[in-house]
């Protein structure tokens, strides 16, 4: 069952979070009549998330019955926005599920239709698996969406295309420039944060320097007062000694000449 398969080319320890991938799933369907289709799915995320992705793509297949032009169908899974993109090619319908902000110009390519498009996820998917799914989708559904089991070669090709388009910037100059702008923005934000941090540190140093100057001024004033008190005490002692010596000399002279 392709729903239970994770990456056929990569590690089997893939997270079931939608945010862990930009391309979540893809599918190919053959519409038999109004309201009937046979579809093969490849979900790159396991468990209940993979089941919900398949349900979202099935809903898009039903909507495609009334629209033969390429379109994108918005949906939400576990609170996260996703988009199912859909395009017709001859008797087949190709779908891919991506994050909502995945560039549509990368999904659909540069042409006006699937045959004329170049360098697009869906054109590449159609080119890779068109000849691999004919027999798998040959049994028409009587009613609703019938799930077909795709061959291992088809599933591997689907996974290979999805994995190759995980980084849209590789195929989109706008996304590439945007990625570079994001890198520069991150660097500038980091520089601003460092500047603000340095400014905070400088402010703290200025505050400490001001406090030190205040303490130094107070200490200088206290030292000046203490020095004056000591000098005044020294002057008083010298004055008392002088007065006492003079009195003693005067007393001796009076005694001698009296």
Please tell me the predicted confidence (pLDDT) of residue 59: 92
Residue 137 burial class via C-beta count within 10 angstroms: exposed 0-12, middle 13-18, buried 19 and up: buried
Of 180 and 206, the structure prediction assigns the larger pLDDT to 206
pLDDT in tens, 38-54: 899 999 998 999 999 99
Q: Contact 161/48 with Cβ under 8 angstroms? A: no
Q: Which residue has the tokens 């200490």?
A: 219
pLDDT band (50, 70, 90) for residue 118: low
Nearest residue to 24 (alpha-carbon basis) of 72, 67, 68, 85 = 85
Q: What stretches of the chain adopt beta strand conformation (E)?
A: 23-33, 36-43, 71-77, 80-89, 92-99, 144-147
Winning range, highest mean pLDDT, from 8-12, 172-176, 208-212: 208-212
Question: Model-level pTM?
Answer: 0.61
For residues 177 and 184, give the distance between their C-alpha atoms in angstroms, rounded to a whole number: 10
Q: What is the mean pLDDT of residues 4-33?
A: 70
Please tell me the predicted confidence (pLDDT) of residue 8: 44
With a cut of 90, say whether residue 85 has pLDDT above it.
yes
Q: Contact 136/39 with Cβ under 8 angstroms? A: no
A 10 A CB-CB count for 58 gives 20
**Long-range pairs for 224-229: beta carbons < 8 A, 24 or more residues apart:** none
Please tell me the predicted confidence (pLDDT) of residue 119: 75
Return the structure tokens found at 131.
């000849």
For residues 173 and 179, give the distance between their C-alpha atoms in angstroms, rounded to a whole number: 10
With a cut of 60, say whether residue 199 has pLDDT above it.
yes
Percent of the chain past pLDDT 70, that is, above it, reads 83
pLDDT band (50, 70, 90) for residue 246: confident
With a cut of 60, say whether residue 14 has pLDDT above it.
no
Please tell me the predicted confidence (pLDDT) of residue 7: 43
Q: What is the mean pLDDT of residues 227-232?
A: 86
Residue 87 φ then ψ, to 5°: -150, 145
pLDDT in tens, 207-224: 888 888 888 888 888 888
Q: What is the mean pLDDT of residues 116-127?
A: 80
pLDDT in tens, 126-145: 889 888 886 666 666 567 78
Q: Contact 72/84 with Cβ under 8 angstroms? A: yes
Return the structure tokens found at 117.
């498009």
Please tell me the predicted confidence (pLDDT) of residue 252: 85
Winning range, highest mean pLDDT, from 9-13, 180-184, 247-251: 247-251
């Amino acid at each position: 069952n392709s729903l239970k398969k994770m990456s056929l080319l990569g590690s089997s320890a893939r997270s079931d979070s939608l945010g862990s991938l930009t391309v979540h799933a893809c599918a190919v369907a053959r519409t038999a009549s109004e309201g009937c289709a046979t579809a093969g799915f490849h979900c790159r995320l396991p468990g209940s998330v993979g089941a919900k992705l398949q349900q979202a793509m099935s809903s898009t297949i039903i909507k495609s019955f009334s629209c033969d032009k390429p379109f994108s169908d918005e949906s939400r899974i576990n609170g996260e926005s996703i988009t199912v993109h859909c395009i017709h090619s001859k008797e087949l319908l190709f779908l891919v599920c991506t994050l909502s902000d995945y560039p549509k110009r990368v999904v659909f390519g540069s042409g006006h239709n699937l045959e004329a498009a170049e360098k697009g996820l869906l054109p590449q998917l159609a080119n890779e698996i068109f000849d691999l799914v004919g027999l798998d989708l040959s049994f028409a559904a009587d009613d609703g969406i019938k799930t077909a089991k795709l061959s291992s070669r088809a599933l591997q090709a689907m996974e290979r295309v999805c994995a190759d388009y995980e980084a849209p910037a590789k195929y989109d100059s706008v996304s590439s420039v945007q990625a570079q702008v994001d890198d520069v923005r991150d660097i500038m934000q980091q520089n601003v944060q460092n500047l603000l941090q340095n400014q905070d540190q400088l402010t703290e140093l200025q505050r400490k320097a001001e406090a030190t100057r205040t303490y130094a001024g107070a200490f200088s004033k206290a030292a000046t007062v203490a020095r004056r008190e000591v000098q005044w005490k020294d002057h008083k002692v010298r004055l008392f000694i002088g007065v006492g010596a003079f009195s003693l000399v005067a007393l001796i002279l009076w005694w001698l000449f009296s």
